[in-house]
Amino acid sequence: MKNLATLLKKGDLTPKERVLLLVHNTVNKDKTGKEILTEADKHALSEGWKPLNNTEVNEYNHYNNGWRTEGSLRLDAQTTYLNAQNSLLRSSRLVDYGMWRDYHKKDTGLLGNLNLDEDEILEFILKNTGLRFDDFIYTYTFQSIDEDLKKDILALYQDAETENQYLEQEEIIADFFDGKEYLTPEAKEKLADLIVDLPHNKYAEIFAERGLRAGAWWFHGYFAELPTLEIAKKWADDNEVSYEARSETLADDLSLKIQDYAEKYKIDVRELLKKTVRTWLDDGLFVTEYAPIWNSTDKVTCNDESTKLPHKEILKRWLKTKAEARTKVQKLIDDGQLEVEIRYKELFGVRDTIKIITGKSLYNLGGDFAFALDFKKQVENLKSFGSLVLFLRDRSFLKGYASLLAFA
């Protein structure tokens, strides 16, 4: 209200006007520390007022209860904010601990002050870690080969030490050829399926729901030596679809063109691309074009670095060592020194099944296995993160801020 004095002089104040005067008095006191109403005024506006009928009583209570509720919400929000801030500040100590973990010593008392136990942290990390079985076999194989073979493999693929895709796909191609100079029709069908799986995004339906059509098919990776972008270009060439070869967005451009074509002719994109790959296999893919290493006597690589051994000999020795590594790992499993678990990971409603070597069995494995020693080092580095997760798990500041957002 603009003129409080005028309202106070009126003898016929409505219930709403009475509550508004009390509200203005409270707000002014909060802002300036001074009230604009005397005690007598406040009494006359509330306890000293006699309503004429139940309608006035209900109206007054309606506005007065609304004001009281708003005041309670402000107090609750302030309390929630302070509690959240307090928990957040305490959590920041552990974040600092993570950043400076190299300086962490047991006698610092930090974990004790946070009511965290070293054994509990270790148990939490081991329960929630492990190595994918296939990745584990690959890593063990790489650690088992001699240095000369390692150099040759890295000359073929510079990231081979940490990324298994290249050699795994070369092995798949070798298995399909099975020592022959050609692929059987059945092998072509299966290989075409595997190749088309690579550029397809399994979360495509989620992307489509959000209108991101280019995200359904990604032509950015490789299958062995074959760039998946070449598959898209091959499709365009075979179907006389024009494209700008030097475009920086060529992969996305072709992805949209392929999907538009499929929609126009009511063809499944996967079948469209599989037909392209299948025809290409008939025409010499992996024989005269993008020849796989299993049948290559070359030593030259695309990385301007030659190998000591012919490519086919590199793969042969790799597969021999891999078979030996798999046998040794299986014996450790049979002896109970390593444990295997099936775990599940779900993202965007898509559930993946993962076979792993458990973190607990890796950590407790005896001997001087390089993979076990590496894992133990990783566990030490994860302790600060495990501490943070355990600490935050029982903290309410996230819920506190969520409550505040609910009132925003």
Residue 207 counted as domain residue: yes
Sorting pLDDT into bands at 50, 70 and 90, what band is 103? very low
- Across residues 283-296, what is the average pLDDT? 94
Sorting pLDDT into bands at 50, 70 and 90, what band is 203? confident
CB 174 within 8 A of CB 292: yes
User: Would you state the pLDDT for residue 407?
Assistant: 45
Please tell me the total count of domains within the chain.
1
d(CA 286, CA 213): 30
Residue 157 counted as domain residue: yes
Domain extent at residue 251: 135-309
> What is the DSSP annotation of 265-312?
TT--HHHHHHHHHHHHHHTTBTTTBS--GGG------TTS---SS-HH
**Rg of the chain (C-alpha set):** 35
User: Would you state the pLDDT for residue 11?
Assistant: 56
Residue 59, pLDDT > 80, answer no
Residue 86 counted as domain residue: no
User: Would you state the pLDDT for residue 109?
Assistant: 45
Helices then strands (H, E): number in the chain?
18, 5
Residue 332 counted as domain residue: no
d(CA 223, CA 299): 20
H or E element that contains 343: strand 340-347
d(CA 254, CA 250): 6
Residue 153 counted as domain residue: yes
Residue 267 counted as domain residue: yes
Residue 24, pLDDT > 90, answer no
User: Would you state the pLDDT for residue 12?
Assistant: 64
Identity of the highest mean pLDDT range in 226-235, 338-347, 351-360, 371-380 = 226-235
Residue 375 counted as domain residue: no
Tokens representing 365? 């494995």
User: Would you state the pLDDT for residue 62?
Assistant: 62
Q: Which residues contact 402 (CB under 8 A, 6 or more apart)?
A: none
Residue 249, pLDDT > 80, answer yes
Residue 224, pLDDT > 80, answer yes
User: Would you state the pLDDT for residue 13?
Assistant: 75
Strand 226-227 to 340-347 pairing? unpaired
d(CA 54, CA 48): 16
Residue 141 counted as domain residue: yes
